[in-house]
Amino acid sequence: MEIEPVGLVALLTGLLVSLALCCVLAVAASRGPRRASVQASQPDKELVAAELERTRAAYEVQLTQRLGERDQALSDIGVLRSRLAEVTGSAEAAIAAEVEVRLAAALKAEVEARVAAALEAHVEAQVEARLTAAFEAKVEMEVAARLAEALAALAAHNRTQDAAKAPEAPGGPPLSPAVPRRLPLGRDSAADSTIDGADLGPLIARAASVRGDRQREDGEHRRDAVLLGVVEEIPSPTLLSAVAAGAPRGQWSRSAAERACRSLAAQLGHYGGRLGSELYPASYATARVPAEDGELGGLLRTAVQGVARSVRLVGRNEAGGASVGAGTTGAPGDAAVEVALTGLLSQLGDHQLREHVAFGIGDCSVLRLRDGAWDEVFTGAREARLPTAAPELHWARLETRPGDLLAVCSAPMAELLLHEDLGDWFAERWTDRRPFLTTFFSHVNVRVRSTGGDRSVVCLWDFGEARRTRDRP
């Protein structure tokens, strides 16, 4: 059957409307039970809220209780901590006090023990020292008493021997130190006498310069000079002994002699390094001639020429700046400062054979005392004088052995030592001795009349080794 389009449309429209109505009814039916259930459940919500309120309140009460308990616990903990701190502090204080007490007791005991030990040792040391000192003092007193007795006996014996053996110049006074009766005159005057000396291990040195008898009687001053000194610039320790004798009538000869000695030490110092290698060769023949040691002779000659220039300056200065060749009051030119000079360079230290070098210009000489006899072992050019005759320097090498004595002398002193009787007198007092300075001076100044002028001498005692000098008088 054919359906009309219009009817089809109407049919479809009716179906759609019916479907829509069905949907509306269904929705309405579903909303009705939900609203009824919501209304039915409303009382339950209120019950739940009330229950929740009660539960919250109960929880708040419990929380409050717990907080209270916590605060109480914290308070209890604070109290416990304070009590613990108090107990800990008390315990620490007690422990510290106990430790301090025990430590103080132990320290006190240790200190007391050490002090007791130290005091005992100190007392023992003091007792021992005092006993030793008392014993030594007693021994020294006993030794001094016996030594005084021995010295008195020896002095009495010596006086007896001197009276029996001592030589006396014809018509002269007894042998005793001379005493000056007049002071010297003149602007160039110096002390009447001078002494010097040193104990240099095994080498004992004594030096003296004394105004002569004739000069004392005439009121003239001493014109000699002596010098002892170590030449530091020479590498090997070396002693310089020098004697300078001024011309008897030289106006400035005393100052020239003093200047010559000092200038000689300075000049040798200038050439100290070169002299050190030439003074003490490994071996040499005693008293070699200068030609065999040209280098050493040249150095000594150069040094003495420097001394001559220095001596000339004395005359120039004293003459008020006049030229060297010009005349001065009482002495023309170099004659006013003429001086004889002798030096001796001696090796220091312990030696069985000691080496020396003697050099000089003029009549000063070097004597050696060996086995009780005097020998002249060196002399300069007797007629020569500084400053004019510096090139005429003489020199020689010498040796000494333990027990020898070397004496660097002016001419008058050498005359006394070489005199038959007086030489024995000096030899008896100087053999194997080391006299005190005053004793040595009294020997040089012995009251015997001599034909010469000033007495000047430097004596060197050679004991070989320093230990051998300890028991010598």
pLDDT value at residue 329? 41
Q: pLDDT tens digits for 265-312? A: 999 999 888 888 888 765 444 444 444 557 888 899 999 999 999 999
pLDDT value at residue 151? 59
pLDDT at 145 over 90: no
pLDDT at 162 over 70: no
pLDDT value at residue 168? 45
pLDDT value at residue 99? 85
Confidence of residue 171 (pLDDT cuts 50, 70, 90): very low
Confidence of residue 186 (pLDDT cuts 50, 70, 90): low
Q: How far apart are CA 165 and CA 168, in angstroms?
A: 9
Residue pair 282/299 in contact (Cβ under 8 Å)? The answer is: no
Residue pair 376/367 in contact (Cβ under 8 Å)? The answer is: yes
Q: Mean pLDDT across the stretch 88-117?
A: 84
pLDDT value at residue 105? 86
pLDDT value at residue 283? 42
Q: What is the mean pLDDT of the chain?
A: 79
Cβ atoms within 10 Å, residue 469 = 17
Percent over 90 (pLDDT), the chain: 28
Report which of residues 134 and 419 the model is more confident about. 419
pLDDT value at residue 376? 93
In terms of C-beta density within 10 A (0-12 exposed, 13-18 middle, 19 or more buried), how is residue 237 classed?
Answer: middle
Q: pLDDT tens digits for 198-228? A: 999 899 999 999 988 777 777 787 889 999 9
pLDDT value at residue 367? 96
pLDDT value at residue 316? 80
Q: How far apart are CA 231 and CA 313, in angstroms?
A: 23
Q: pLDDT tens digits for 64-73? A: 888 888 888 8
Q: Mean pLDDT across the stretch 440-446?
A: 90
Q: What is the DSSP letter of 227?
A: E
Percent over 70 (pLDDT), the chain: 75
Q: Mean pLDDT across the stretch 171-191?
A: 59
Binning the chain into helix, strand and coil, the percentages to the nearest 5 are 55, 20, 25
pLDDT value at residue 165? 42
Q: What is the DSSP letter of 355?
A: E
pLDDT at 194 over 80: yes
The region that residue 378 occupies, defined by phi over 0 for left and psi between -120 and 50 for alpha, beta otherwise, is: beta
Length of the chain: 473
pLDDT value at residue 250? 79
Confidence of residue 369 (pLDDT cuts 50, 70, 90): very high
pLDDT at 468 over 60: yes
